[in-house]
Each structure stands twice: as C-alpha cells, then as structure tokens.
Amino acid sequence: MRILLVEDDTQLACSLQALLQEAGFVVDMAADGHDAIFVGETESYDAAVLDLGLPGQDGISVLRHWREHGRHFPVLILTGRSRWSDKLAGFQAGADDYLTKPFMHEEVALRLHALLRRSHQGSGDAVLTVGDLRYDPINQRFSLADKPIALTAQEHKILAYLMHRPGATVTRTEISEHVYSRDLDPDSNSVDVLIGRIRRKIGSERIATQRGLGFRLCAPAAN
C-alpha cells in the first residue's frame, strides 16, 4: 500500500519512513505544503500522514485542497497541536484520524492499517480474509488454510493490495501505482510475472484475469 508522508522535520520524516517501510508500506515524502498539494493530486495514494505546521501551505489548507479536488484517500493528521480547536479544524477539513506529538512511532503504522481496512473493506477486522487466504497486516503474515506463505517483498506488496480490494478488478497500472514509489516506473510485464509467481503459491484460481482490464482476487468456488 502506497503512503504519502508530509512532514517538514527531516529527522522525524526519515525515521517514520523507515518504520512504515518496515511495516510493508511504500512511502513517498513531501516536506512542504505546495509539494504535498501537487503530489496528492497527481499521484495515487492509499493514505496520507499529514503534519499541520508546514512551510508554504499549512496542513489544513493542503487537506482542504485535496478534498475539494476529489482526493478522498484516508488522512492521518500528525501534529504537535493538541487543542480541541485544532482537532476540530482537522476533522472539518476532512481528516480521518488525528495523532498528537509526542507519540509512539509504531502507533502511526497501526492507525494506518486500521484506516485502510475501514476504507477498503468497511470493517475494522484486524485480519483480512478471502476464503481461506488470510492476511495479518500488523504482523505482515499471509497464510493459506492456516499454513504460512513465503513471498518475496514485491509479491507481498501486490498480494496485500489485492487483499484490500477483494472481488474488485484491479488494473496493472493501479498495481504499479500502489506498490511502487513514484521514482520507479516498472513495465507492465513485471506485474504479470509477479502475479504468475503469486498464483503458483496460492493457487491460480484465486486470481482471475479480466481480459483487457486487470486482475481480481476471489475465493475459489466450493466443490
């Protein structure tokens, strides 16, 4: 899942980026409000972590701009402003969650996972399931019929994205946009190769090809 991290404190941004990447996210960063507005409008993100005290444009203005221009990915505000009026302004601008500094870095990843589950599945369940295929995003583990599945890093990211979109047809472009950072531009064939490798590990019938459209993760039909 691809995350936009908007934070002007370089040390904090780098430590959060490392933690979120370790938690399985692809992380792009922006350090000021103008850059955040631009990449938030032009790139595809599953969620954003947004500081309020930014140079150029403050976080509330950034968030309001995203929402007014149809960008509805979940946004977690991360800020040192703890007053009720600041929280109210954040939620009124379109925030989905609000975390004040100081905080445990691990809590950012936990809250993002919860936002993504609710956003894609309408549920706060900690483990995602499609038939007997299960994904625990907190512990970064896949299992099939209660047996662990060994996946490479890129296979893991693609299957995790599909697990958040069960039953939906996902294009190759969407997969590339949501599992690779913006400085990488993989060709469509690499996505097909990775899908093929995932199929061999979980069963080809679990990922259907919609000709000319993309791929759909589904539970195999019962015998």
> pLDDT-derived band of residue 180, with 50, 70 and 90 as boundaries?
confident
User: What pLDDT, on the 0 to 100 scale, is given for residue 119?
Assistant: 75
pLDDT in tens, 111-151: 998 888 877 655 556 788 899 999 998 888 999 999 999 99
Residue 156 reports pLDDT greater than 90: yes
User: What pLDDT, on the 0 to 100 scale, is given for residue 223?
Assistant: 47
Q: How high does pLDDT run on average in the chain?
A: 88
| Alpha-carbon distances of 222 from 99, 127, 132, 218, rounded to whole Å | 44, 22, 11, 12
User: What pLDDT, on the 0 to 100 scale, is given for residue 4?
Assistant: 96
Predicted model pTM:
0.78
| Average pLDDT value for residue range 35-59 | 93
Residue 57 reports pLDDT greater than 70: yes
| Average pLDDT value for residue range 162-190 | 81
95 within 8 A of 66, measured Cβ to Cβ: no
User: What pLDDT, on the 0 to 100 scale, is given for residue 20?
Assistant: 93
pLDDT in tens, 62-93: 999 999 999 999 999 988 887 888 889 999 99
Q: At what angle do helices 188-202 and 172-179 cross, to 10 degrees?
A: 90
Which residue, among 100, 20, 35, has the nearest Cα to 66 in the 3D structure? 35
User: What pLDDT, on the 0 to 100 scale, is given for residue 84?
Assistant: 86
Domains of the chain: 2-121 (3.40.50.2300), 128-217 (1.10.10.10)
Helix (H), strand (E) at residue 38: helix 33-42
User: What pLDDT, on the 0 to 100 scale, is given for residue 17?
Assistant: 94
Residue 167 reports pLDDT greater than 80: yes
Q: Which two tokens stand for residue 201?
A: 């590990």
> pLDDT-derived band of residue 55, with 50, 70 and 90 as boundaries?
very high
pLDDT in tens, 191-205: 899 999 999 999 999
| Average pLDDT value for residue range 49-56 | 93
